[in-house]
Amino acid sequence: MRIRFGDFVFDEGRHLLFRGPEPVHLAPKAFQLLGLLLERQPDAISKEDIQAVLWPDTFVSEASLVTLVKELRKALGDAAHDGALVRTVQGFGYAFDGSVRREPAKDVSPHRHALLWGARELDLQQGENIVGREPDASVWVGHPSE
């Protein structure tokens, strides 16, 4: 499943996060945390539940989760004090507060179609594909001047 929020596209199947056309580096645990927050959005998730999913059968201190949330916020450009995307629920846990749009899995076709954009290869879906710079385009192509 692909989930769009702001300038970002979270592609769980391909295990990638994009900001516009550019991939955003996330450590595996930070990617897993973002996936969990998006999956349960808009609900808040307790620290205990997050730790059970991210570190099953392993003891980790609460500081590990705090560090992971900081890494995720930095990658998303989300300042801790305003928490527009990742909100701290005091004394409980975290929630994803951004507006999201879930996209269904792509249709499976015996033929693969792609658009070459610089060094990137952007997969096209069967049928109509809207290519553009608007966040709601099915194929988002950014430009360095933006």
Could you tell me if residue 81 is inside a domain?
yes
CATH code of residue 77? 1.10.10.10
Structural domain harbouring 118? 106-140
Of 6 and 146, the one with more pLDDT: 6
Give pLDDT, residue 90.
92
Cβ neighbors of 16 (< 8 A, separation 6 or more) are 23
For residue range 41-98, list pLDDT tens digits in order: 999 999 999 999 999 988 888 899 999 999 999 999 887 556 689 999 999 999 999 8
For residues 58 and 79, state if they share a domain: yes
Q: Taking Cα atoms as reference points, which of 99, 2, 3, 96 lies closest to residue 50?
A: 96
pTM above 0.75, yes or no: no
Confidence at residue 111, expressed as pLDDT on a 0 to 100 scale: 61
* Residue 146 resides in a domain: no
Residues 6+ apart with CB under 8 A from 52: none
pLDDT at 140: 72
Domain assignment of residue 145, yes or no: no
- Residues 85, 117 share a domain: no
